[in-house]
Amino acid sequence: MTAPIDHTFVVRVRAALAAQVRSILAEAEAEAEGSGWRDLQHRQLAERIKALVAATHPVNDPDGTWAGTDLFGPARRLAVRLGELQGASGLFTGGDNVDSPPDSAFSVNDLAEALLLLRADTPSAGDRTLAELLERLLTAAVPALVSGGVHTPNHRWELSAALARLFLVSPEPALAARVDQWLAEGIDIDADGLYSERSPNYAAYVSNPSLLTIAAVFDRPDLVDAVERNLDATLDLLLPDGSVETVMSRRQDQNHAFPLSAYLIPLRRMALLRGRGDLAWAAGLALEQGVTLPADAAARLVLDPDIARVLPAPVRPERPRRRVFEAAGLLVDHRPNSTTVLFGGSDHARHERIRSGLANSPTFLRLFAGAAVLESVRLSRTFFGKGPFRAGGLTVEPDPAGEPTVTLAETVTASYYQPLASPDRDSRGAYRLVDEGRFSAAMDFGRRGRDDVALTTVVRARLTAAGVELTLDLTGAVVDWALELAFRPGGTLTGARRLDDDRWQLDVPARVGAAPVTASYRFGRDEITIDLVEASDGQDGAWSAACSAPSYEPGEEYRFLGGTDAATGTRLYLVGRVPARLRMLISADRPA
């Protein structure tokens, strides 16, 4: 008995593929005039080949839209161009990563799938030539992929997926043996279901699809289990706007929103394999956002036709619910009318540097209330160029009412150095060039006594039904600080003093008394309100005003290079001087 087909999914994949093919054919015309594919990287060329081949299959073209169109001709030209980019090692050239097995693996995955698609039907005279071109490209790449290395965690799985697809093309034992070597390292996924890079981008585009491919080729159900755990985590990281939280990521996506659409195929596959209604619901949401990779989805319809089966009945995840990702230092709290995100898992506290591959974001609070979104809350300090507050951990404790209180803390120090002791002096004044932590100097810092200056920040966030009660305590060095609340553009901010087009200041009196100190951000009918409850020195003394104007200080690591990680949007500032205690209620208001 034929399983029922999810026609909505199939129709949308076909439509997305048709749009991609039309774009490629337009490029082919430009290429004939000398302005088409010459500047494309090898991954872009390989993806186009797979799209063109996928479109030739009746599954993806039931109405014969492309019946009178030569799709193989452009595909052959693309393959020839790829051959020109293939070096003596068999790896493809181009991009920042030189002689890169994992970067070439991305293209090999697409080329191997294109060849498998060609083999799925009886080859015609036209596609036999293309198949031979692809076979030559793949054969040349095999030795480098079998022996080559990687430099990021997800590369292991992309490379192994390429080897698995090459195994389907030609089942050589060396391919399987190399995959076993990589898998023997263990999958880099923690108890909460996050891969070590904590990146939705790489989970969606690399790790999850790669592990599912390896599992299917080599019968590894444990890899399927890993993917399911990551998708479980993704459900709890899913925000009301349809994006997946990225603030904890260690990769490039930590600074921008990431759509659920990229998870479409793994969500469908797992919903079908495990009968999961919640994953089916998420797959439906992903499909509504669009088919991100039409060639991949269309290839699945041919090579993995079960992907088109009707999914289990969708089940929306319940609210309220809360998830603490302990290793990542992240809490996501979903309430009926809002979602609150608290982050204290920055790698900066331990590594003391901004680096690709580290979680660097200084955003420690986000709040979603329908269209009104508090994108980022950050605490900036003027303290030796150390940059904004970044907590190195997150603790969660229940209050007497059972609501969780999250504590984030950081102590930063800078030093002044004493004269060298007599045995360590050099009459020539020549001393070792040493990295002090903030900068380098020929001072031989390690041999000197030091006087430390410290600044301690403790942030407590008590979750409430409406949002969060936020308390900040700053002690130590007497410096200016600025609390920055950045809202998603499009709404209206009231109750604060305008500084310029996008920046506002909530003036803090020396004592918060009977008169309310309140600001609100409204977008349509949705609103986020900030009520200032306390402003003091934390010891029953008066509040100290800041000496400088509100601003965001990114720190020396950015400023030295002329860069910044500053937030954008509508920004509201509260400023003061250490010592200080600031307590406020941040509440979501969404009409029923």
pLDDT at 535 over 50: yes
Q: What is the pLDDT of residue 493?
A: 97
pLDDT at 97 over 80: no
- In SS3 terms, 334-371 reads as ECCCCEEEEECCCCHHHHCCCCCCCCCCCCCEEEEECC
pTM of the model: 0.94
Residue in 520, 521, 540, 542 with CA at minimum distance from that of residue 532 = 520
What φ, ψ does residue 589 adopt, rounded to 5°?
Answer: -130, 110
Q: Which residues contact 462 (CB under 8 A, 6 or more apart)?
A: 399, 403, 404, 405, 406, 468, 469, 471
The residue written with tokens 């980019």 in the block is 85
Q: What is the pLDDT of residue 185?
A: 97
Average pLDDT, the chain: 93
Distance CA 298, CA 17 (A): 7
Percent of the chain whose pLDDT exceeds 90: 83
Distance CA 45, CA 54 (A): 14
Instruction: State the first-to-last Cα distance of the chain, in angstroms, to the nearest integer.
Output: 46
Q: Which two tokens stand for residue 41?
A: 């990287």
Q: Which two tokens stand for residue 378?
A: 């950050």
Q: What is the pLDDT of residue 31?
A: 79
Distance CA 25, CA 28 (A): 5
- Characterize the bridge pairing of strands 570-577 and 503-505: parallel
Q: What is the mean pLDDT of residues 538-561?
A: 89
Distance from the Cα of residue 413 to its chain's centroid: 30
Distance CA 411, CA 134 (A): 57
Distance CA 87, CA 78 (A): 16
pLDDT at 125 over 50: no
Q: What is the pLDDT of residues 309-360, one digit of tens each?
A: 999 999 999 999 999 999 999 999 999 999 999 999 998 888 878 888 888 9
Q: Look up the CATH number of domain 7-308.
A: 1.50.10.100
Is residue 325 a contact partner of residue 194, using CB atoms and an 8 Å limit? yes
Band the pLDDT of 434: cuts 50, 70, 90.
very high
Q: What is the pLDDT of residue 34?
A: 66
Residue in 277, 265, 256, 359 with CA at minimum distance from that of residue 306 = 265
Range of lowest pLDDT (29-38, 224-233, 422-431, 467-476): 29-38
Band the pLDDT of 524: cuts 50, 70, 90.
very high
Residue in 314, 215, 203, 311 with CA at minimum distance from that of residue 263 = 203
Q: What is the pLDDT of residues 132-187, one digit of tens each?
A: 999 999 999 999 999 999 999 999 999 999 999 999 999 999 999 999 999 999 99
The count of residues in the chain is: 592
Q: Which residues contact 423 (CB under 8 A, 6 or more apart)?
A: none
Q: What is the pLDDT of residue 47?
A: 98
CA atoms within 13 A on the CB side of 564: 8
Q: What is the pLDDT of residue 480?
A: 96
Distance CA 358, CA 220 (A): 30
Residue 511 CB coordination number (10 Å): 10
- In SS3 terms, 411-429 reads as EEEEEEECCCCHHHCCCCC
Residue in 240, 326, 236, 235 with CA at minimum distance from that of residue 283 = 235
pLDDT at 3 over 80: no
Q: Which two tokens stand for residue 453?
A: 């200056």
- Of residues 304 and 127, which shows the higher confidence score? 304
Q: What is the mean pLDDT of residues 382-408?
A: 90
pLDDT at 592 over 70: no
Three-state DSSP class for 495?
A: coil
Q: What is the mean pLDDT of residues 109-126?
A: 82
Q: What is the pLDDT of residues 210-245, one digit of tens each?
A: 999 999 999 999 999 999 999 999 999 999 999 999
Band the pLDDT of 529: cuts 50, 70, 90.
very high
Show the DSSP H helices in 59-184 as ranges: 72-84, 101-120, 125-147, 153-169, 173-183
Q: What is the mean pLDDT of residues 86-90?
A: 95
Q: Could you tell me the CA-to-CA distances from 492 to 374, 525, 531 in Å, in that order? A: 12, 11, 17
Going by the DSSP 8-state scheme, the letter that residue 3 receives in this structure is P
Where in the chain are the domains?
7-308, 321-415+453-589
Answer whether CATH 2.70.98 is correct for domain 321-415+453-589: yes
